[in-house]
Amino acid sequence: MSKKIIYWHRCDLRLHDNECLHLSCVDNQQVLPVYIYDERHYQNLDLGFRKTSYQRYLYLKDTLNDLRESYKKIGGNLLILFGKPEDLLPQLVITHQCEELIYQKEIMSEETSVESQLEINLKLTPCKITAIWGKTLYHLDDLPFAVKDIPLTSKAFRINTSKNAEPRAVFPTPTFINCVQLSDYGDISQKSKIGFTEQELQTTYDKKAFPAGETAALQRLQYYTFDSHLVETYKWTRNKSLGVDFSSKFSGYLALGSLSPRLVYFTVKEYETKIKRNISTWWLIFEVVWRDYFSFLGLRQGDKVFFQGGHLNKKAVWEENYELFNKWKNGETGIPFVDAHMKQLSRSGFMSNRGRVNTASFLAYDYRVDWRWGAAWFESLLIDYDVCSNWFNWNTQALHIYYTNPVHQSVKYDKNTDFISSELDYLNKLSKYNRHAPWLLTDEELSDHGINEYHRPVEIYKKWNRSIINIEKLITSKI
Ligand X SMILES: Cc1cc2nc3c(=O)[nH]c(=O)nc-3n(C[C@H](O)[C@H](O)[C@H](O)COP(=O)(O)OP(=O)(O)OC[C@H]3O[C@@H](n4cnc5c(N)ncnc54)[C@H](O)[C@@H]3O)c2cc1C
Which residues would be at the binding site for ligand X (CB under 6 A)?
238, 247-251, 254-255, 284, 287-288, 290-291, 294, 352-353, 356-357, 360, 378, 382, 384-386, 389-390, 393-394, 397
User: Please, what is the minimum distance in Å from the beta carbon of residue 341 to ligand X?
Assistant: 11
Q: At 216, which amino acid appears?
A: A
User: Please, what is the minimum distance in Å from the beta carbon of residue 382 to ligand X?
Assistant: 5
User: Please, what is the minimum distance in Å from the beta carbon of residue 47 to ligand X?
Assistant: 17
The C-alpha atoms of residue 54 and residue 57 are separated, in whole angstroms, by 5
User: Please, what is the minimum distance in Å from the beta carbon of residue 292 to ligand X?
Assistant: 8
Q: Which of 213, 228, 281, 251 shows the shortest CA–CA distance to 353?
A: 251
User: Please, what is the minimum distance in Å from the beta carbon of residue 57 to ligand X?
Assistant: 16
- In order of 322, 383, 467, the CA distances from 328 in angstroms are 10, 19, 21
| 79 vs 376 by CB, closer to ligand X | 376
| 7 vs 378 by CB, closer to ligand X | 378
User: Please, what is the minimum distance in Å from the beta carbon of residue 225 to ligand X?
Assistant: 12
The set of long-range contacts for 391-396, using a CB threshold of 8 Å and a minimum separation of 24, is 391/298, 391/305, 391/306, 392/294, 392/297, 392/298, 392/305, 392/311, 393/294, 393/356, 393/360, 394/360, 395/305, 395/310, 395/311, 395/312
| 373 vs 394 by CB, closer to ligand X | 394
| 244 vs 458 by CB, closer to ligand X | 244
Q: Which of 265, 256, 268 shows the shortest CA–CA distance to 288?
A: 265
CA dihedral 339, 340, 343, 345 (to 10 degrees): -110
| 238 vs 368 by CB, closer to ligand X | 238
User: Please, what is the minimum distance in Å from the beta carbon of residue 359 to ligand X?
Assistant: 8
Q: Which of 319, 324, 320 shows the shortest CA–CA distance to 338?
A: 324
The C-alpha atoms of residue 4 and residue 317 are separated, in whole angstroms, by 55
| 324 vs 357 by CB, closer to ligand X | 357
| 76 vs 374 by CB, closer to ligand X | 374
Q: Which of 434, 423, 421, 329 shows the shortest CA–CA distance to 376?
A: 329
